[in-house]
């Protein structure tokens, strides 16, 4: 089993995506000191593969999903953060939050271009400042959350409460559903 060498995020800026590193250094010290990062095998960046390979509980993994919705000619983007063990409620909750008729996952190439991050490593840290970041309330109770670092070759670790205190974050009850209880 590979090992994780977690270091303070400020020390790790060399292996984070540029927008992520820039956003981290702009954070208040009381948040920044509670965020760590680690270099990982990029082939293990997907949440399930990472959890299995590094022995990190799947319940602590969080996915950052870029969504897009249209209102007239305007495209509205947001990022949604949900635990890996849940499913984002795009059709009901996200659509209402964005005030659009239809919301869906943003196309991969669009998400990569707009964020300056690698697909599979997109994170709520360092997103365009005009985007809202919606975080499912269940993420807050996780003491140690792992999220992307803007690159597939790294991960960021922080308490759920710190994630909720990041810029542009709104905590939303019911943003995600349990996969077994959803109705498709």
Q: Looking at the predicted structure, is the pLDDT value of residue 184 above 50?
A: no
Q: How confident is the model at residue 59 (pLDDT cuts 50, 70, 90)?
A: confident
- What does the DSSP assignment read for 13-81? GGGS-HHHHHHHHTS-HHHHTT-EEEE--GGG-SHHHHHHHHT--GGGBEEEEEEEEEETTEEEEEEEE
CATH of 7-172, one of 3.40.50.2300, 3.80.10.10, 3.40.50.10470, 3.90.960.10: 3.90.960.10
Which pLDDT does position 26 carry in this prediction? 95
In the chain, pLDDT over 70 holds for what percent of residues?
97
pLDDT at residue number 43: 94
pLDDT in tens, 67-119: 999 988 999 999 999 999 899 999 999 999 999 999 999 999 999 999 999 99
């Amino acid at each position: 089993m590979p090992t994780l060498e977690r270091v303070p995020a400020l020390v790790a800026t060399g292996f984070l995506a540029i927008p992520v590193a820039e956003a981290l250094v702009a954070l208040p010290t009381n948040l920044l000191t509670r965020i760590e990062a680690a270099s990982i095998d990029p082939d293990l960046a997907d949440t399930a593969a990472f959890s299995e390979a590094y022995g990190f509980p799947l319940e602590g993994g969080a996915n950052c999903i870029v969504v897009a919705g249209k209102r007239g000619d305007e495209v509205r983007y947001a990022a949604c953060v949900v635990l890996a063990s849940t499913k984002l409620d795009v059709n009901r909750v996200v659509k209402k939050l964005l005030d659009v008729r239809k919301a869906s996952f943003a196309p991969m190439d669009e998400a990569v271009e707009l964020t300056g991050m690698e697909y599979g490593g997109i994170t709520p840290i360092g997103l365009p400042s005009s985007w809202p970041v919606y975080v499912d309330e269940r993420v807050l109770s996780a003491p140690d959350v792992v999220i992307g670092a803007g690159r597939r070759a790294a991960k960021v670790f922080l308490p759920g409460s710190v994630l909720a205190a990041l810029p542009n974050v709104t905590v939303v009850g019911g943003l995600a559903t349990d996969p077994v209880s959803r109705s498709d």
